[in-house]
Structure 1
Amino acid sequence: MILFLMNSCRTFHDLSVNAGMNFSEPKKILNKITNPVNKGVRLSALWVGHATVLLQMDDKQILFDPFFTQTSGGIQRRLYEPGIELKNINKCDLIFISHSHFDHLNFGTLSLLEDKFAGTPLIFPEGVEEYLPDYNFDLRKMKMGNRIPGKYIGETKTISGIKITTVYAFHWGGRYGLDGLLWRQDAYTGYILEYNGMTVYFSGDTAYDEKFYKELGNKFKIDLALIPIGPCSECNKIDKPDRHVYPKGALMILNDLKAKFMIPVHYGTLYELSEDPEEPRYVLQEMIGSDKNYLSKIRILKIGDQSVIIQKE
């Protein structure tokens, strides 16, 4: 029974360790941005923390995997507070959910967003609807891609003027642990967004798959890739298969995609048990070293930082 009470990306050890963190306040983020909309910018990304990114594509403001509450599923505690105050997000054109796990599909945050942005398109992969409450969003379910070569693409829709393509993610579904392991093989995806000549890839949680990423890199000219690098216990490995890519795997994904820029996410935000939440960043920086190609392409942000990728001419 305990498996049904846990975050599906976590173990019982996570529950016991995080129980001791429940009375600690998240660390403050200083000098938070109060106006994330930049008139002189075509493409920018603000890292809110964990997998949450506030993206600007010209006149569009987009949220990926929004998580603004203090815990993930009431279990895993924030180490740092969100990188922007929700009150300072005054425009939101699209909200994306990559999969149904607690740290990506956050009901508390969606309730807050619903109060402010009712009717906004909420895009999610098939299967997530089984867990969603009756929110006052414009619910948009999309088909998943799968791991069979040639069938990596789910489907493409244009919503609010943005061309959205669901693509394969090397992860797993469900929400409560056992459901994902035994019978729920849906409710997870990655996304390609195309708008006004710009292309952004948000992977969601994924492990490494060489054939998929090389095919994706040949199919799309990606300006910005948002790639997870944690959590990792053996951070010098490529990934934990079927789960999460590690820093080495993230660099391999960047190479396969031939993306112009990459921002690493999904680390350094939550208490991670025996793992140092910042370890993925340390390992990534060590792997990058003095490589000029990587240094020019990879933007390692602090929580709350906003990176301008393309400026208006």
Structure 2
Amino acid sequence: MTQQSETQQPESTASTPTREAGAPATSAPFAPPAEPRPLGERRVWPRTFHDRLTAPLPGLKAMARFAREGAIRPGREGLADIPRLPFAPGPLPRVDARTVAVSWAGHASWAVQIGGLTVLTDPVWSRRILGTPARITPVGIAWEALPRVDAVVISHNHYDHLDAPTLRRLPRDTPVFVPAGLGRWFHRRRFTNVTELDWWEAVELDGVRFDFVPAHHWSKRSLVDTCRTLWGGWVLTAPDGRRVHFAGDTGYGHWFARIGQRYPGIDLALLPIGAYDPRWWLSDVHCDPEEAVRAAQDLGARRMAPMHWATFVLSAEPVLEPLTRVRAAWEKAGLDRDDLWDLPVGGSRVLQDM
């Protein structure tokens, strides 16, 4: 994959982002985290973010090969393990402002309880998303069981991460933090507290800091909007300094090491491990399980919780394979088994005091 240059942290309120000169991850200078931007700030963005792509999008030859091979779903044997997929819904942990806890609703949807806030990541509570068969496991957290949602973070605009029917359930004054260019989508749906961020920018809410960080992915929601909005992940930092990294949807690459250098001491990384086969088609935009373990190490994360598997059938690997492979890769890397939080859909874990 072709490495792209890192965006420079803004030093003013200028709406047009600037870019720092490209350099290898091992030698690039690192600025301290940016000062938080104002909540609900209205900004003007470039017409396209194509220059942020890590690798070119598939061309006509790749599209023709994909159509010819037709490998978009597992075979019968690969689907046979659907009844064995881990599903164990339980009550959300009782927490206070000093506690960090995560609960997996499925796919990339988490309820992160941090600094006294409940934050939803890429909330998808729908049974079906556009162009994809229905869920193969139910939602792990009943919507009615959620405490008040204090904020929502969105990684990018693909339908399995940005779900209009789910978002319509939220009060329209819910704080929503989104990638650059995606605010208009929310404003059209009458959300009133929407903050758009570029890579390496941040916002604060009630003492919790939200940093938007790069990912190896892309964006598209219609035939005419490819890369018109940005994509990325989030680093959530509690008032006591504990950190959770939510990677969104991403391939493996140099950004993980750079995120880890700029935000040291990540306590937990929520990393995608599914939707990776065939590799020739998906390697640039989706980690496989072994790459996810490498990404956790690059981040310097103390723990990893796998996600983006066991929910929707998006690619050709057997449905249970991501779990078996990530466990094997974790063991091969010599990492503590207790630090792999391979939760069932609906499962929760509490980050104990350090």
State whether TM-score is above 0.5. yes
Q: 1:76 aligns with which of 116, 127, 133?
A: 133
Number of the residue aligned with 1:7? none
Note the 1:81-230 alignment, pairs <5 A. 81-112=138-169, 114=170, 117-132=171-186, 134-145=188-199, 153=200, 155-176=201-222, 179-180=225-226, 184-196=227-239, 197-210=241-254, 212-220=255-263, 221-230=265-274
* 2-structure distance, mates of 1:124, 1:67: 15
* 2-structure distance, mates of 1:166, 1:124: 8
Number of the residue aligned with 2:293? 251
Q: 1:296 aligns with which of 317, 326, 338?
A: 338
Question: 8 Å contact 1:77–1:270 — kept in the other structure?
Answer: yes
SS at match of 2:293: helix
Number of the residue aligned with 2:307? 265
CA gap of 1:29–1:276, structure 2 versus 1, over 3 A, is closer
Matched, 1:62 2:104: no
Structure 2 unmatched runs, 5+: 1-65, 75-81
SS at match of 1:61: strand
Count of residues in correspondence between the two structures:
277
Question: 8 Å contact 2:106–2:345 — kept in the other structure?
Answer: yes
Letter in 2 for 1:88: A
CA gap of 1:86–1:143, structure 2 versus 1, over 3 A, is same
CA gap of 1:250–1:160, structure 2 versus 1, over 3 A, is same
Structure 1 unmatched runs, 5+: 1-10, 19-25, 146-152
More strand by share: 1
* 1-structure distance, mates of 2:251, 2:132: 24
SS at match of 2:194: strand
Number of the residue aligned with 1:149? none
**Higher CA-based Rg:** 2
Question: 8 Å contact 1:37–1:56 — kept in the other structure?
Answer: no
* 1-structure distance, mates of 2:148, 2:118: 6
Q: CA deviation at 1:40?
A: 9.3
CA gap of 1:158–1:282, structure 2 versus 1, over 3 A, is same
Question: 8 Å contact 2:179–2:232 — kept in the other structure?
Answer: yes
* 1-structure distance, mates of 2:94, 2:133: 31
Number of the residue aligned with 1:310? 352
CA gap of 1:207–1:40, structure 2 versus 1, over 3 A, is same
SS at match of 2:271: strand
How does the TM-score come out when normalised to structure 2?
A: 0.70
Question: 8 Å contact 1:167–1:191 — kept in the other structure?
Answer: yes
CA gap of 1:208–1:58, structure 2 versus 1, over 3 A, is same
* 2-structure distance, mates of 1:138, 1:29: 37
How does the TM-score come out when normalised to structure 1?
A: 0.78
Number of the residue aligned with 1:21? none
Q: 1:240 aligns with which of 283, 290, 295?
A: 283
CA gap of 1:98–1:40, structure 2 versus 1, over 3 A, is closer
SS at match of 1:71: coil
* 2-structure distance, mates of 1:225, 1:103: 20
Letter in 2 for 1:169: A
Q: CA deviation at 1:213?
A: 1.9
- RMSD of aligned alpha carbons: 3.0
Letter in 2 for 1:194: T
